[in-house]
Amino acid sequence: MSRSNDGLTTTSYAILGLLAIQPWTTYELAQHMDRTLGRLWPRAQSKIYEEPKKLVAMRLAHATSEATGRRPRTVYGITAKGRRALGAWLAEPGAPPSLEYEQLLKVFFAEHGSKADLVAQLENARDWALGQRLIHFAMAEGYLSGSGRFPERAAILSLTGRFVFEFNEMVLNWAEFALAAVRDWPGDPGEAEVDWRIYEDMLARRDRSVRPRSSRVSTTQRASPRARSRTR
């Protein structure tokens, strides 16, 4: 999605953001995008390989030729103009979420398939969420032990990490709820009876008084692993 009239897309700025952290080769960018930003902004690797060259052509990034042994490689870094462009983009209002979820789409049309198909989709969603849990737990353990990547960014990463973790938990809770809801459905989902309590629960949440949710983080902030090591 284009953010302005300069021809840059959100993916362009995501690459610029990574270059602002440190220089990367296109292979390293693709790998890091898959590990981290892939959960926020998934894009085909071919696009990731194309973007740095475009950024260099626009003088937002620079390319340096290096050699690892006998193998040449190109390392990309951000320029001063690139940092200014990234800063201007960060100051703009971001676009709201746009959900793209094929498993949910197949549940939406479940009456045209069988109950077994529907259950399989929900089980796949549940299993995916359980697998993602392990990734989130490993990430949290890494930062608490002081072995997480880019520890200087731990405060920022805790915000986006918490969002992705909560989204994952939402998918898990929804999949378990839906599996329980369809357990007694007939073989043809189109013949299932409506559980009106589901809609009633939505309205109950609307009518419930809204109170600020207290953070689970203590007002005395947890010391970082590096801070703890300095006090020893």
Residue 97 lies in a domain: no
Name the residue type at position 211: R
Residue 175 lies in a domain: yes
173, 113 contact by CB (below 8 A): no
72 and 114 in one domain?
no
Among 214, 215, 231, CA closest to 223: 231
Q: What is the CATH number of the domain that holds 25?
A: 1.10.10.10
Query: 66-97 pLDDT, tens per residue?
Result: 887 778 899 999 999 999 999 999 999 999 99
Query: 151-199 pLDDT, tens per residue?
Result: 999 999 999 999 999 999 999 999 999 999 999 999 999 999 999 999 9
132 and 47 in one domain?
no
Domain that holds residue 18: 10-91
